């Protein structure tokens, strides 16, 4: 397109205006991001739900928020109330729930309410890059808390809180993904949950609980949400992105009613898309209990294929953190590999992965780790992609070598 000169804007952008990111070409073997399983999108069910709600409630689309106010569609909040009570131990009325535009908006709202430049927040040493980046962009210093395969270590949290207190620093929140952690896949035990709540109360630091993946646990009974143990000190957010579709952009939050009211006041977007809410509510009200086992079965199968491929291709050259649910596999390449050296060669071989440093409070802690999303690719892509990744890795680092149990 023949456009006039752009210089007028260049002089006007604010200091915080984001730079343009170069568009990423989708890789042939795409293991990045938090996408879902395409074959598990319930297309017929969503089409039926859309037809039903449009015929029943379509005229209400003439009004912002369907004429119901900024907390979101009451039918969706009713469904969420039941789901949170029956699956996460959280009791409360639908009025205690705020529907958000993805749980990312929940993160933005909490940061907007709590963070001033120079503040400190605590997170698991490996955490969701979106939460890390948002807290940093809000001006916070992010302090990592050591984790193991069972989640945040409570001794490490206590030590961090005590150190900060000695330094006169009051952290603004402890952000935690207790159930199927991103990226590690860990599930925090009930005992640790109780202890973390005790520490939050003792040090006067609220907990910011992100439960994006709690409904995707298999083979284990997920312990109750932290919010159910201590609604006075926990802000809880969740999402439909992983249970249904990330393209829908529906999340939710619940918190102390006075805190939630401030979140509602800060949510100045004219409301989360009402048609999406109507459809999701209609579909899940009737099909949550059959959709979730189907989705989990598909994800578990893909994880199995990925684990098998990684064991075959990397042998003892990689340490896998095999999750009990979710969409990610976190793994460490042994032999001091720096995965940042591997990103471009892997991309050249058609493989995109998320490098550990971007998922670590201190990037160096994640230097040998990478995160693979197994939900989006099909089984053939998983097998071929892991093989291509191993070849690229060997070419760059000499790992995985023959001695790692694989016939390279
Ligand atoms: C832990 C965590 N929180 C929040 C989000 C954002 O999800 P949403 O699509 O609901 O905005 C993600 C997405 O991957 C996530 O992993």
Mapping DSSP onto H, E and C, the string for 50-69 reads: HHHHHHHHHHHHHCHHHHCC
Task: Say yes or no: CB of residue 179 within 6 Å of ligand 1.
Answer: no
Contacts of 337 (CB under 8 A, 6+ apart): 367, 368, 393, 397, 399
Please tell me the predicted confidence (pLDDT) of residue 16.
Answer: 84
CA–CA dist 158, 262 (Å, integer): 29
Distances, alpha carbon 178 to alpha carbons 131, 186, 222, 367, in Å: 14, 7, 10, 23
**What spacing in Å lies between the alpha carbon of 214 and ligand 1's midpoint?**
12
Residue 30 pairs in a beta bridge with 352
Closest CA to 376 of 327, 321, 313: 327
| pLDDT at residue 131, rounded to an integer | 98
E strand or H helix at 10, and its extent?
A: helix 7-10
Q: Which atom of ligand 1 is nearest to the CA of 240?
A: 10
CB atoms within 10 A of CB 269: 10
Q: Hey, which residues does 120 pair with through a beta bridge?
A: 141
Q: How are beta strands 234-239 and 207-210 bridged, if at all? A: parallel
- Which element (helix H / strand E) includes 303? helix 274-314
DSSP 8-class letter at 140? P
Q: Please, what is the Cα angle at 194 between 189 and 200, to 5 degrees? A: 125
CA of 103 to the centre of ligand 1 (A): 6
What pLDDT score was predicted for residue 356? 98
Query: Ligand 1 test: best mutation among 103, 129, 244, 269, most atoms within 8 Å of CB?
Result: 103
- How far apart, in whole angstroms, are the C-alpha atoms of residue 251 and residue 237? 7
Atom 13 of ligand 1, nearest CA residue: 34
CA of 104 to the centre of ligand 1 (A): 6
* Angle in degrees, CA 227, 233, 237, rounded to 5: 45
Cβ atoms of residues 84 and 248 within 8 Å: no
Q: 351-352 and 147-148 as β-strands: parallel, antiparallel, unpaired?
A: unpaired
> Given this model, what pLDDT does residue 5 score?
66
130 lines ligand 1 (CB under 6 A): yes
* Structural contact between residues 350 and 401, judged by C-beta atoms closer than 8 angstroms: no
The two three-digit tokens of residue 243, written as one number:
């249970």
Q: Is ligand 1 within 6 A of the CB of residue 277?
A: no
Find the 392 Cα to ligand 1 centroid distance in Å: 29
Q: Are 259 and 235 in contact (CB under 8 A)?
A: yes
Q: Which of 128, 184, 329, 376 to mutate to test the pocket of ligand 1 (most atoms within 8 A of CB)?
A: 128
Judge if the beta carbon of residue 355 lies within 6 A of ligand 1. Answer: no
| pLDDT per residue of the chain (408 residues) written in tens, 0 to 9 | 666 666 688 888 898 888 888 877 889 999 999 999 999 999 999 999 999 999 999 999 999 999 999 999 999 999 999 999 999 999 989 999 999 999 999 999 999 999 999 999 999 999 999 999 999 999 999 999 999 999 999 999 999 999 999 999 999 999 999 999 999 999 999 999 999 999 999 999 999 999 999 999 998 999 999 999 999 999 999 999 999 999 999 999 999 999 999 999 999 999 999 999 999 999 999 999 999 999 999 999 999 999 999 999 999 999 999 999 999 999 999 988 999 999 999 999 999 999 999 999 999 999 999 999 999 999 999 999 999 999 999 999 888 875 555 555
CA nearest neighbour of 359 among 92, 34, 102, 68: 34
Q: Is 21 helix (H, G, I), strand (E, B) or coil?
A: coil
């Amino acid at each position: 397109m023949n456009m006039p000169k752009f210089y007028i804007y260049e002089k006007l952008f604010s200091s915080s205006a984001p730079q343009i990111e170069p568009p990423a070409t989708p890789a042939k073997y795409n293991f990045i991001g938090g996408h879902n399983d395409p074959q598990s999108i319930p297309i017929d069910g969503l089409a039926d739900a859309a037809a039903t709600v449009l015929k029943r409630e379509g005229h209400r689309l003439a009004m912002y928020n369907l004429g119901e106010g900024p907390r979101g569609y009451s039918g969706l909040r009713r469904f969420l109330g039941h789901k949170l009570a029956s699956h996460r131990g959280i009791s409360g009325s639908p009025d205690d729930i705020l529907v958000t535009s993805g749980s990312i908006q929940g993160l933005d709202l909490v940061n907007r309410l709590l963070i001033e430049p120079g503040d400190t927040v605590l997170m698991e040493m490996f955490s969701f890059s979106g939460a890390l980046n948002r807290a940093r962009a809000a001006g916070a210093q992010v302090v990592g808390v050591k984790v193991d395969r069972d989640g945040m270590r409570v001794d490490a949290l206590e030590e961090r809180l005590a150190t900060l207190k000695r330094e006169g620093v009051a952290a603004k929140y402890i952000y935690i993904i207790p159930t199927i952690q991103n990226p590690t896949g860990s599930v925090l035990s009930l005992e640790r949950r109780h202890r973390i709540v005790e520490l939050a109360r003792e040090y006067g630091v609220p907990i910011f609980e992100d439960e994006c993946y709690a409904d995707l646990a298999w083979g284990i009974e997920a312990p109750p949400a932290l919010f159910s143990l201590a609604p006075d000190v926990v802000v809880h957010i969740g999402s439909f992105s992983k249970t249904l579709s990330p393209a829908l952009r529906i999340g939710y939050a619940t918190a102390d009613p006075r805190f939630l009211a401030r979140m509602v006041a800060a949510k100045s977007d004219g409301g989360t898309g009402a048609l999406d809410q109507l459809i999701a509510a209609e579909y899940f009200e009737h099909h949550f209990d059959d959709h979730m086992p189907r989705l989990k079965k598909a994800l578990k199968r893909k994880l199995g294929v990925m684990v098998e491929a990684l064991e075959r291709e990397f042998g003892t050259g990689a340490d896998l953190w095999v999750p009990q649910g979710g969409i990610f596999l976190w793994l460490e390449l042994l032999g001091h590999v720096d995965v940042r050296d591997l990103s471009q060669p892997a991309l050249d071989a058609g493989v995109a992965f998320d490098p550990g440093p971007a998922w670590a409070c201190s990037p160096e802690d994640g230097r040998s780790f990478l995160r693979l999303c197994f939900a989006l690719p099909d089984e053939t892509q998983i097998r071929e992609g892991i093989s291509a990744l191993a070849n690229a890795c060997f070419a760059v680092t000499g790992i995985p070598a023959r001695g790692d149990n694989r016939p390279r």
